[in-house]
Amino acid sequence: MLNLIYWELFKTYAKWRTYIGFIAVGILIPVIMWIMWVEGGKFIQHQLRSLQSEFLITGNLFNGWVIAQLIMNGLWVHVPALITLVAGDQLSGEATSGTFRLTLIRPVSRTRILNAKYIATLIYTASIVISIAALSIGLGMWIFGTGDLIAFDKDGITILPESDLYIRFLFAYALAIWSMFVVASLAFFISSFVENAIGPIITTMTVIVIFLIISNLPVESVEGIKPWLFTTHMNVWQQAFRDPYDWERIRTSVLALGANSLFFWAITLFIFRRKDILS
């Protein structure tokens, strides 16, 4: 199995399209950093305007941690698109190029081939998120230095001491990877029954956008279905910056996201094992 995974990873990382995501991250994050640098602390000043009248705030509040967290907030709309570029091509790409005729006549089960591809897809997904983490924290700290984190959310502002931040960011990125696995699994699933990569990319993004809209609709009639949509749980990484942690919310979301990934993998396997290779 390890050999199969190795070659799936080899194929994935030998393709030009795999690097589009990394290039996009490599351009986008420095651009955001540059804008932040030019704008200075205006954003933080704006956010803290009401607090400054009542509290004495000292130290470097416009630091690398703050920037990294802002980037996390900003990029989650785009990261799924980067993930689907590769995940949506994993099965459909082989169907298009005809290479299933090469691989599926070998004495190895379709289940093992599919699992190797799925694991390679998840590893790519994790590597995209890790590249975002490394670049935004590394570059952020280098340019803006370190300090405590002011975490903004809809309930207010939480100031987290710098000593906690390594573990909190690690936790946040782990949750982010977990939530992106659902996106990858969905694109992987869609790629199992089409023969070009464009379909899975467009369909996955359409599903995500529709689900996101429903998840954020302040309408009572859709409240019942919100917990069942994976997009409702995709921002679980924000819980890493809550003090104290809301473990109940984290557990629910982690389980919901895991169940969604498992579901998409299971139906992909069901389809793939029965698929007639006609191309």
Partner 1 sequence: MSDIILRTKNLGKHYKNRWAAQEINLEVHRGDVFGFLGPNGAGKSTTIRMILSLITPTTGTVELFGHDLFKKREAALQNVGGIVEKPDFYLYLSAYRNMQIAGSLTLGKTPDDKKINETLGIVGLAERSMDKVKTFSHGMKQRLGIAQALLCDPQLIMLDEPTNGLDPQGMKEVRELITRLTTERGITVFLSSHLLNEVEQVATRMAIINKGKMIVQGKVEDLLKANANKILFNVEPVKRSMAVLKKIKTVSEIIQTDEGIVAKIDGKEIPSVVNELVKAKCRVFSVQPKHSLEEYFLSVTDER
Q: In b/e form, how buried is each residue of 53-89, taking b as 16+ CB within 10 angstroms?
A: eeeeeeeebbbbbbbbbbbbeebbeebbbbbbbbbbb
CB of 46 to partner 1, least distance (A): 48
Give the nearer residue to partner 1 in terms of CB position, either 46 or 274.
Answer: 274
Phi, psi (degrees; rounded to nearest 5) at 243: -135, 115
Give the nearer residue to partner 1 in terms of CB position, either 112 or 251.
Answer: 112
Give the nearer residue to partner 1 in terms of CB position, either 17 or 251.
Answer: 17
CB of 125 to partner 1, least distance (A): 21
Give the nearer residue to partner 1 in terms of CB position, either 11 or 242.
Answer: 11
Q: Which two tokens stand for residue 201?
A: 């990319």
Distance CA 203, CA 205 (A): 5
Give the nearer residue to partner 1 in terms of CB position, either 100 or 241.
Answer: 100
E-assigned strand segments in the chain = 149-153, 156-160
CB of 106 to partner 1, least distance (A): 4
CB of 192 to partner 1, least distance (A): 15
Give the nearer residue to partner 1 in terms of CB position, either 157 or 277.
Answer: 277
Give the nearer residue to partner 1 in terms of CB position, either 1 or 210.
Answer: 1
Give the nearer residue to partner 1 in terms of CB position, either 2 or 56.
Answer: 2
- Which residue pairs, CB below 8 angstroms and at least 24 apart, start in 25-30? 25/75, 25/82, 25/128, 25/131, 25/132, 25/135, 26/131, 26/135, 28/75, 28/78, 29/71, 29/75, 29/132, 29/135, 29/136, 29/139, 30/135, 30/139
User: In the block, which residue shows the tokens 């987290």?
Assistant: 160
Q: How far is CA 114 from CA 1, 38, 120, 182, in A?
A: 11, 48, 10, 16
Q: How far is CA 139 from CA 21, 101, 110, 135, 159, in A?
A: 18, 45, 43, 6, 22
Q: What angle do CA 11, 121, 113 make, to 5 degrees?
A: 70
CB of 14 to partner 1, least distance (A): 6
CB of 88 to partner 1, least distance (A): 18
CB of 7 to partner 1, least distance (A): 5
Catalog residues that contact partner 1 under the rule CB under 8 A.
3-4, 7, 10-11, 14-16, 97-109, 113, 274, 276-278
CB of 12 to partner 1, least distance (A): 11
CB atoms within 10 A of CB 223: 10
Phi, psi (degrees; rounded to nearest 5) at 26: -65, -25
